[in-house]
Every structure is written in structure tokens, then in C-alpha cells.
Amino acid sequence: MRKSVFESILILGTGTLALNITKMLFGLFGTDSRPKLLCASYLESPFSLFSTWCKTSKIPYINFKDKIALSEYLSGFESSMLLISAHNYYIFPSNLLQKPFLKIINYHNSLLPNHRGLNAQMWSIFDQDSTSGITWHLVSSGIDCGDIIIQKSIPLDSTYTYLKLTQEQLQLAFLAFREICDSLLSWNLPLKTQEKIGDFVLHKARDLPNNGILDLHWDFEKKSAFLRSMDCGKSHLLPKPKIILEGKKYVILDYTPNPKNALGFDFTLGEKNE
């Protein structure tokens, strides 16, 4: 059985990444040994696979609807803890970061320092990056500014959509976590400082490429990058992209490349109610 320098490990996150990490650590430590496994989410669906599995496996789990309550919960720990932020949108307050016994690592869906902030996969596709990837890093006072633990790359091509890249990133993030697990448990990490962070944009939740509107003056490649960057399949992770034709705004429900169409694509459109 592996050993850990931590009294407890808290997995704070959502979805398959948090679930897979929890399953892995549960297989290593169970529920009755040190370190003690704990799980939590911020604004997770009460019917998620993560929450259901934790409850079935009798791992302590709390789904927080309020960030103040989550902050109070985290402030209550007073012994050595590893906090794994896995697909989590909660921003850690400075008072938590100052606790010497609390070590926090975070998953980010880009090759930092490029595309800090939210929806990094969207911006990577829209900016037509040749490579995307994932980063596990320490949490610091700056958003996505902490020292890098490990990074893995994904070469991009014109088939990548927001949904496809997200899925591959989550799979790669788990493989990377497995690779660094022993170093995490002993807290003996090979760290790399992020350089020239100020040269890179911090993306906010409300930010969308070109405000979410297709520019008809773009060439085909840029139009394709825009459409794919906001293509979440049947999910509702992003708003649908828009197009303005003859002064009227429409929602783009679907798109298919068509070189015979002057726009470069055939569109299925819906009415946009302002």
C-alpha cells in the first residue's frame, strides 16, 4: 500500500476527472486508512456520477451551492491535507492559500501560461493554435499562475471541436495525474515556474470569440475555427454562435462545410430573440 505525508486528501471537482481520480485513490487507500479520503463539489448536479459513486462507496461527499459555505468548510481543516482541484470553478481565497499544512493542486485545460482562465479549449481552437494540452499546477494567489507540475500536449487539426478537445483533455489529465501520483503523496514534486505570465490573456467566463458572432469577412479557416470553438455537441456548455444576415441575427444550430456556398458552409439557423 502506498504511503502519504498527508492526513487527508480532498478531491474538489466535478465530472469524470474527479470521479476517476477518486476511484484511483480509493483503490490505493480505501476509506479506513490514512490518508482519509474526502470529496466535494461546487455547483455539481446532485445526480452526477461523481456524487453517486462517492455516496455508494461511503466516501464523505458534500455538494456546495454557495462559495461562502465551501470556504468555511475548507477553513475548518487544521491538519496536513492535499487538495486536488479537478475540473473545479471555485477560486481559493487568500486565507486558505496561507495555511502551511494545506497543499493545493489544480487541473487546467491548456498549456499554461497560454490561455489562463475559463474555456481555454475554446480559445485554443479559435486562435488556431497548433497545439493544446493540459497542465497540473500548484494553486497560487494569481489565477492559473502557480508552478507547473506536469504538462501534456495535444496536436490540433481542423477536426477538433470544443467537445472533442474537452474530452481528450480530461482523459489526458487523468493519465498525467497517475504519472505524478507518487510524487504528490510524498510532496516531492519537480516544479517549473511559469514565465512571462503577464504576456498572456486571462479569459473570463463571459468572454466569447468575437462576442459569439460569426464574421462573414473571415476566410474559411477562421470561420471554421470559430464554429468549432463553440461546438459543444448536444450539451449547453456554451451559448450557440450567432450570425447576422441582411441585418437580422440568427442562432447557428448546425453547420456543414460546403465550398459551393458563398459563405463556405451550409447552416441550420434559428430565430434569435433579443
DSSP 8-state class, residue 187: T
- Tell me how far apart the alpha carbons of residues 50 and 53 are, in angstroms, rounded to a whole number: 5
- Tell me how far apart the alpha carbons of residues 57 and 47 are, in angstroms, rounded to a whole number: 15
For residue 140, what are the contacts with CB-CB under 8 A and spacing of at least 6?
A: 97, 146, 147
- Summarised one tens digit per residue, pLDDT across range 102-131 is 999 999 999 999 999 999 999 999 999 999
| pLDDT reported for residue 271 | 86
- Which three cell numbers, joined as nine digits, stand for 84? 486536488
| pLDDT reported for residue 210 | 98
Mean pLDDT, the chain, rounded, equals 95
The CA-CA-CA angle for residues 162, 168, 173, to 5°, reads 120
For residue 253, what are the contacts with CB-CB under 8 A and spacing of at least 6?
A: 240, 267, 268, 269, 270
What does the pLDDT average to over 10-30?
96
- Which three cell numbers, joined as nine digits, stand for 51? 456524487
- Summarised one tens digit per residue, pLDDT across range 210-245 is 999 999 999 999 999 999 999 999 988 999 999 999
- Summarised one tens digit per residue, pLDDT across range 51-62 is 999 999 999 999
| pLDDT reported for residue 2 | 75
- Summarised one tens digit per residue, pLDDT across range 148-193 is 999 999 999 999 999 999 999 999 999 999 999 999 999 999 999 9
The CA-CA-CA angle for residues 79, 80, 81, to 5°, reads 110
Contact 134, 151 (CB under 8 A): yes
| pLDDT reported for residue 259 | 94
| pLDDT reported for residue 3 | 84
- Which three cell numbers, joined as nine digits, stand for 9? 486528501
